[in-house]
Structure 1
Amino acid sequence: MIRQYELVEKVKSYDPDADEDLINRAYVFSMKVHGAQRRASGDPYFLHPLEVAGLLADMKLDTGSIVTGLLHDTVEDTVATIDEIDKQFGSEIRQLVDGVTKLSKLELQDSQAKQAENFRKLVLAMSKDIRVLLVKLCDRLHNMRTLDAIASPEKRRRIARETIEIYAPLAERIGMHEMKDELEDLAFAQLNPDARDSIVLRLQELRQEDSSLIDDVIREVVAALKEGGVDAAVLGREKRPYSIWRKMQRKNVAFEQLFDIMAFRIMVEDKRTCYQALGVLHDRYQSLPGRFKDYISTPKPNGYQSLHTAVIGPLRQRIEIQIRTAEMQEVAELGVAAHWTYKQGAAGEADRPKYRWLQELLEILEHAQKPEEFLEHTKMELFQDQVFCFTPKGMLIALPHGATPVDFAYAVHSEVGDTCVGAKVNGRLVTLRHVLSNGDQVDIITSKTSRPSPEWERFAATGKARARIRKFVRQQQRTEYAELGRAMLQKLFRQEGYDFTEKAIDGVLKIFKAQHVDDIYANVGAGLTPSRDVFNAVFPGHKAAAQRADANVVPIGRARRSQGKTKDQPVPIRGLIPGMAVHYARCCHPIPGDRIVGIVTTGKGVTIHTIDCETLESFYDTPERWVDVSWDSSGEPAEDHVGRIHAVIANEPGSLGTLSTVIGKNGGNITNLKITSRSTDFFEMLIDIDVSDLKHLNNIVAALRATPIISAVERARSG
């Protein structure tokens, strides 16, 4: 526990002009109002805001941030009011505390809609003052460090899931990589403790096998650099379990196949020496193709700079190396706090482009129809790894992996995206589905008469693009519904012998809680409001006659509901003719998330294959049988699909039990199992598992790879 005088001294050590009196008053006020409150662990509640303030001081933040850390829970959890904060500490502290207070109960929300609404508030609050986010991240970090004190496993998992989906990506976006790594690993321990324990065990075994490996590598790298005229400090570190887990999932490999579990960092004096050190390493050791990244000449949007490379280095070990200066290291650890706007004054203006993503979140907020949709698009915007592309004038645009020219166009400007008709990548015309790569120069071709296509949403990778496309589709759909609804009302009025006027509809807006007559037209056209109800509201005296006339008429909507659910559930695939028979190919077992194609077979309908299925080679000569299809993710989740995996497991007692337990814990259900080969040491088998989609199957595969008794596992593509 940090003491009052220690907190003040820590702040004064990096900011001699800090308002000591303000910090002391906030300390006393917070301790007084929290009084005898206790946390789930039994510790005095006041220890939490004190630790949050200590974390903010570790980041060398300003007095306002430290005071907010001390006060951030006072309004929500005590009798203190926001006006009292304003009176005692000023308007600046009031705004910061208010921004954090509105979110302090985020982890207690069960509803997805409530969580999304609170996250929307966070985005709005941090867009006004990024310090709100910094305080909230430190608050979340301390809560995660003490999460085991919460008795409810479900509540712990809910908080951990929210941390890994929202707060860790936000920490990364503002460049706080150390905090991001710790948040992810703490959440991983709650969400998948078995996988984490397995990785930790393997790391311990690795340390025991090669106890001096890191020291030996460091010694040789330092000697090599010195020989090349580079004076540098070399540090070795072990990657965190969650980072290893994600790499196993992303690269589809087992633990033993990873070569960058140990990473090495070379610290040099200046930028020029970074490149000199890189030259020495590449001259001395064989570099691995495709593993070099230059984030110094092309920094990440959050300001991160470093050279990344991988070489077959000392002791023939494949190692990952980062080369940077001390200043770059500070930015990598502290992000926005390392070049604090409030300390720099006008100099902070230069950092604004690094937080362009925050403006894009606000644009998503503007275009999203409801909070859940905003949360969905925001997660997409935050979670992705990035590629860097350029406009013809050299402006850098950062996009997620898998991004297309449509994403690039919307990243340049919303109007450019809306009017996009084509693109040139590196001077060559490409389709709008083309996947962009690092370093591509993209020239967007526009037309003033062009409008977004609903099909774009199927391949757009950024939340901003998808939110804008959805908004356009909704507006277009609403216009069509409004025209239809108006025509329906005109016809009904005519049938009843009345002239239709917009003024008459305007008179019943309050009855239907509508703001404009177009709202009523659209609801009628969409079937949400019966046209007869609108007519009866305009002419109440006609109501009885209308009911008698309609006595024998059953509304279509009611008739459908009375029939109950049909046995035939809609097929979750776009691009098919209604009523067409559909089969899933047994050669590749396609599941939602796979890129798919349909093959027409006479008398059988359409067979769905994955796009990389080897069977498709036999249909290359008959392109007329191919159907362009994709999974429909807009409706309710469909039934489970069969995913087939090939596994090699140790021939030991309990191996099959362990395998089935891991699959069950990750929500899978084994529907078939076939042993294809056996030996003294191993079994090879094909396993069919009911899964919801590709992500679900990948999670199961990754969990199996982290299990010691399983030697290898991969998705089966035939059999």
Structure 2
Amino acid sequence: MSKHKVWSAEDLFNEVNKYMNKDHVDIIKKAYNYAADCHEGQSRQSGEPYIVHPIQVASILAQLRMDPETISAGLLHDVVEDTNATLDDIDEKFGKNVEIIVDGVTKLGKIKYKSNQEQLAENHRKLLLAMCSDIRVMIVKLADRLHNMRTLRHLKPEKQWRISNETLEIYAPLADRLGIGTIKWELEDISLRYLNPQQYYKIVHLMNSKRNERVAYVNEAVKEVKKQVSDMNLPNVEVYGRPKHLYSIYRKMVIKHKKFGQIYDLLAVRCIVDSIKDCYAVLGAIHTKWSPMPGRFKDYIAMPKANMYQSLHTTVFGPGGKPLEVQIRTKKMHQIAEYGVAAHWAYKEGMTDEVQASSDNNRLNWFKRIIEIQEDTDNASEFMDGVKGELFGDHVYAFTPQGDVLELPKGAGPLDMAYLIHTDVGNHTTGAKVNGVIEPLDYEIKTGDIVTIMTSTSSTGPSQDWENLVTTSRAKHKIRQFFRHKDREKNIAIGKDLLNQAIKDNGYDISDVLTKPNMDRLLNKTYYKSIDDMYAELGFGNKQPNGLVNILTLQIRDDAEKKRQEQEQKDILENHQTIEKNNDHPNNKNSKLNKPSDGVVIKDVDNLLIRLSHCCAPVPGDKIVGYITKGRGVSVHRDNCPNVIEDDDRLVNVNWDIPDDSHTLFNAYVQVEGYNRNSMLNDVIKNVSGVCKQINSVEGRVDHDKTVTISLKISVKNLAQLEMVMNHVKNVHDVYFVKRPFK
């Protein structure tokens, strides 16, 4: 892989100074200074200061010629996730637009999910939906992912594989969808390097084996094309050789089962001209010079790709009869091919955000499909499956009878196309003609098909089996929507029965649950506009009743818990009064200290269980307090333990009673945080073992910011020995802090 320049802050300022005015450059400098302050003292996995990463992200955005808000967001994209800065801080200092972009890129950190996969799916969904409101969210995220991929060598192999796989499944297709070829190609090549190094280096070897021969061939072809074009007297024509990207070679060799020598566009020439008319003129000249290869001409100017890509592609029998691909496009087309939607968001002084956003929305109607997929499911994994299947998979391009081109996922049929045109067209479809021939509704559309949707105003609408005939989320959503509306009254009745039964099954009385305050609370906590909407969704099968029962019974359960706690308080008070009464008995007046339990005593009290709490693990030397529990005696805590409730009726004075010559050991918890470098765990354990001979357990966790958290359970004699252990660990290189955690 090629080495990439590590940009300094000064390099970044020089770059933006090439195309921004002074006021806008000052905004970026302000964002840099704030990010540098927030990330002060933090390091990356590579060991370099963390601020290096935001600078590289901002530099990638600067090379795309992005606006000041986007580059500022690139510098600030990790401050909310990794520092004490808040979104309100970003809004106050840099404005709402920057805050929205940073929020869109920030992961969901405070919600606990059942699995890493669920967390990942939720993060992806949040990112995609944020992108739909401001495309710059995804542009910043792609720049962030690109730099992370460039520095992937610093991570463990399993993380390299996971991140590369995610990049190839999600981020490279997104870059492709947004038309940002310059990022897409690099993401794909680096991902291949880590996912399949054997194939990667095999292709590198094949590319290098006859490199001089291929370079000479391309140079000869470029010379011939320039000669042909010069005879046409066209202005400002640029002709050069184009390298083939490794991943595209891999796809053709492995996925399409082609040999290296069968990949015709391995040798390619690109022509950049001034106008569309010049594109076709150059195409004619090249076809006059060399014979075109049958079936290898593609006109993406007349039929642009969904990501706005336009170009003419032709493969000819070039010099010596060898296959040669030629791409012909205008300068504007080339800009879009390299930078895609980023070219439309590129810095244009005086152009308003509204104008740019409108420009993008006209070109990127597929955003609407993301929203439709979101509306059709509240499950993040299902949402991502729908996005990947419909937007990132293979596509076909079909024509309407009027000549409009529609993009559909591979496997789509006439009904998918009908609903893509309009909901009413889909609902009133009676049949379809493909290339003038009537075809069944389960026909699979192919690229180039001319599809005529036949409709009737007297149609009663979709049939129940249509959902099995469509592949797009839009079509499925519209069909379900039709039946929701059509069978609404029936679904409401079914929904009522389902909810009533669920209330009974959970042991509640229906009249206690379905009160007006409870129903109002339900509407406030859900997206339903009315109770009937809720019943209709239940009856349609789009929601499960138990989740609604949990919301409806929240107050009932709170009241029951409050009563339980009141009764527990009463029992504890009675228990405490009994202890005091026993202490006042004449036979106990001269009693000695009770026998120590875990080295702790309560003065003048016998026959009461005493135990050291696991939540704060007190050791001799700690200031401690006793807490009377129900049925489990007295629990001993450190006096600063957050689990001790300030309640005079439950607290008792306790003391340590440990002989000086005691060999008793006490469990203690130590938590270490630091930079996840090689041998960090070994160094920590070595320093602990030097003072404490008994380590009972060790657990480690590495977070997204390359911070490692090591949790140890050790045995010590007292607080002095524990503090000695902690001081030794603090001296370990790259340790941020050492503390005693509360469980």
Aligned residue runs from structure 1 range 446-595, under 5 A: 446-447=455-456, 449-452=459-462, 455-456=465-466, 460-466=470-476, 468=478, 506=514
In 2, Cα distance between equivalents of 1:22 and 1:144: 28
Match of 2:7 among 2, 11, 27: 2
- Equivalent in the alignment of 1:270: 275
- Equivalent in the alignment of 1:214: 218
Match of 2:32 among 15, 27, 32: 27
What SS class does the counterpart of residue 98 from structure 2 fall into? Answer: helix
Match of 2:239 among 228, 234, 242: 234
Deviation of 1:485 after TM superposition, in Å, equals: 7.8
Describe the superposition over 1:441-492 as per-residue Cα deviations: whole angstroms up to 9, x where unpaired. 4332235644445655555443433455577789999998876687899999
Q: CA RMSD in A?
A: 3.9
What SS class does the counterpart of residue 175 from structure 1 fall into? Answer: coil
In 1, Cα distance between equivalents of 2:169 and 2:152: 17
- Equivalent in the alignment of 1:55: 60
Match of 1:286 among 288, 291, 294: 291
Match of 2:179 among 141, 160, 175: 175
1:199 corresponds to 2:208: no
Match of 1:93 among 94, 98, 105: 98
- Equivalent in the alignment of 1:358: 367
Is the contact made by 1:423 and 1:431 (CA closer than 8 Å) also made in structure 2?
yes
- Equivalent in the alignment of 2:140: 135
Match of 1:66 among 64, 71, 82: 71
Amino acid in the other structure paired with 2:369: E
1:45 corresponds to 2:50: yes
Deviation of 1:199 after TM superposition, in Å, equals: 1.7
Is the contact made by 1:363 and 1:464 (CA closer than 8 Å) also made in structure 2?
yes
Aligned residues: 524
Describe the superposition over 1:133-156 as per-residue Cα deviations: whole angstroms up to 9, x where unpaired. 1111100110111111112x2222
1:12 corresponds to 2:17: yes
What SS class does the counterpart of residue 41 from structure 2 fall into? Answer: coil
Aligned residue runs from structure 1 range 420-431, under 5 A: 420-431=429-440
Is the contact made by 2:66 and 2:342 (CA closer than 8 Å) also made in structure 1?
yes
Describe the superposition over 1:406-443 as per-residue Cα deviations: whole angstroms up to 9, x where unpaired. 22122223443344332233443222222334444433
Is the contact made by 1:123 and 1:362 (CA closer than 8 Å) also made in structure 2?
no
1:411 corresponds to 2:415: no
What SS class does the counterpart of residue 294 from structure 2 fall into? Answer: coil
Describe the superposition over 1:260-291 as per-residue Cα deviations: whole angstroms up to 9, x where unpaired. 22222112222211100101111222212222
Deviation of 1:305 after TM superposition, in Å, equals: 1.4
Deviation of 1:205 after TM superposition, in Å, equals: 1.8
- Indicate how the Cα distance of structure 1 residues 211 and 276 shifts in structure 2: closer, same or farther if over 3 A, else same: closer
- Indicate how the Cα distance of structure 1 residues 503 and 105 shifts in structure 2: closer, same or farther if over 3 A, else same: closer
- Indicate how the Cα distance of structure 1 residues 489 and 64 shifts in structure 2: closer, same or farther if over 3 A, else same: closer
- Indicate how the Cα distance of structure 1 residues 325 and 285 shifts in structure 2: closer, same or farther if over 3 A, else same: same
- Equivalent in the alignment of 1:442: 451
What SS class does the counterpart of residue 179 from structure 1 fall into? Answer: helix
Amino acid in the other structure paired with 1:195: Q
What SS class does the counterpart of residue 464 from structure 1 fall into? Answer: helix
Aligned residue runs from structure 1 range 694-709, under 5 A: none
What SS class does the counterpart of residue 365 from structure 2 fall into? Answer: helix
Match of 1:122 among 120, 127, 139: 127
- Indicate how the Cα distance of structure 1 residues 371 and 528 shifts in structure 2: closer, same or farther if over 3 A, else same: closer
Is the contact made by 1:403 and 1:462 (CA closer than 8 Å) also made in structure 2?
yes
Which TM-score applies when normalising by structure 1? 0.65
What SS class does the counterpart of residue 289 from structure 1 fall into? Answer: strand
What SS class does the counterpart of residue 290 from structure 1 fall into? Answer: strand
Describe the superposition over 1:230-275 as per-residue Cα deviations: whole angstroms up to 9, x where unpaired. 5633222231121112223453323332222222211222221110
1:372 corresponds to 2:381: yes
In 1, Cα distance between equivalents of 2:381 and 2:184: 24
What SS class does the counterpart of residue 453 from structure 2 fall into? Answer: strand
In 1, Cα distance between equivalents of 2:540 and 2:330: 63
Amino acid in the other structure paired with 1:63: P
Amino acid in the other structure paired with 1:464: R
Deviation of 1:5 after TM superposition, in Å, equals: 3.4
- Equivalent in the alignment of 1:154: 158
Is the contact made by 2:301 and 2:310 (CA closer than 8 Å) also made in structure 1?
yes
- Indicate how the Cα distance of structure 1 residues 60 and 489 shifts in structure 2: closer, same or farther if over 3 A, else same: closer
What SS class does the counterpart of residue 26 from structure 2 fall into? Answer: helix
In 1, Cα distance between equivalents of 2:271 and 2:417: 34
- Equivalent in the alignment of 2:169: 165
What SS class does the counterpart of residue 166 from structure 2 fall into? Answer: helix
Deviation of 1:508 after TM superposition, in Å, equals: 11
In 2, Cα distance between equivalents of 1:38 and 1:488: 55
In 2, Cα distance between equivalents of 1:28 and 1:167: 29
- Indicate how the Cα distance of structure 1 residues 300 and 104 shifts in structure 2: closer, same or farther if over 3 A, else same: farther
Structure 1 unaligned spans of 5+: 493-500, 538-719
Describe the superposition over 1:611-667 as per-residue Cα deviations: whole angstroms up to 9, x where unpaired. xxxxxxxxxxxxxxxxxxxxxxxxxxxxxxxxxxxxxxxxxxxxxxxxxxxxxxxxx
Is the contact made by 2:70 and 2:140 (CA closer than 8 Å) also made in structure 1?
yes
- Indicate how the Cα distance of structure 1 residues 78 and 446 shifts in structure 2: closer, same or farther if over 3 A, else same: same
Is the contact made by 1:264 and 1:322 (CA closer than 8 Å) also made in structure 2?
yes
Structure 1 residues 181-190 or 43-52, which shifts more? 181-190
Deviation of 1:56 after TM superposition, in Å, equals: 0.6
- Indicate how the Cα distance of structure 1 residues 489 and 88 shifts in structure 2: closer, same or farther if over 3 A, else same: closer
In 1, Cα distance between equivalents of 2:533 and 2:67: 51
Describe the superposition over 1:585-627 as per-residue Cα deviations: whole angstroms up to 9, x where unpaired. xxxxxxxxxxxxxxxxxxxxxxxxxxxxxxxxxxxxxxxxxxx
Aligned residue runs from structure 1 range 633-644, under 5 A: none
- Indicate how the Cα distance of structure 1 residues 188 and 481 shifts in structure 2: closer, same or farther if over 3 A, else same: farther
Match of 2:327 among 322, 328, 331: 322
Amino acid in the other structure paired with 1:185: D
- Equivalent in the alignment of 1:388: 397
Deviation of 1:54 after TM superposition, in Å, equals: 0.6
Is the contact made by 1:420 and 1:446 (CA closer than 8 Å) also made in structure 2?
yes
Is the contact made by 2:58 and 2:74 (CA closer than 8 Å) also made in structure 1?
yes
What SS class does the counterpart of residue 398 from structure 1 fall into? Answer: strand
- Equivalent in the alignment of 1:668: none
In 1, Cα distance between equivalents of 2:134 and 2:194: 31
Deviation of 1:111 after TM superposition, in Å, equals: 2.7
In 2, Cα distance between equivalents of 1:236 and 1:75: 44
- Indicate how the Cα distance of structure 1 residues 422 and 369 shifts in structure 2: closer, same or farther if over 3 A, else same: farther
Structure 2 unaligned spans of 5+: 1-5, 503-508, 524-530, 554-743
- Equivalent in the alignment of 2:671: none
Which TM-score applies when normalising by structure 2? 0.63
Deviation of 1:306 after TM superposition, in Å, equals: 0.8
Is the contact made by 2:28 and 2:71 (CA closer than 8 Å) also made in structure 1?
yes
Aligned residue runs from structure 1 range 658-697, under 5 A: none
In 1, Cα distance between equivalents of 2:268 and 2:127: 34
Is the contact made by 2:484 and 2:536 (CA closer than 8 Å) also made in structure 1?
no
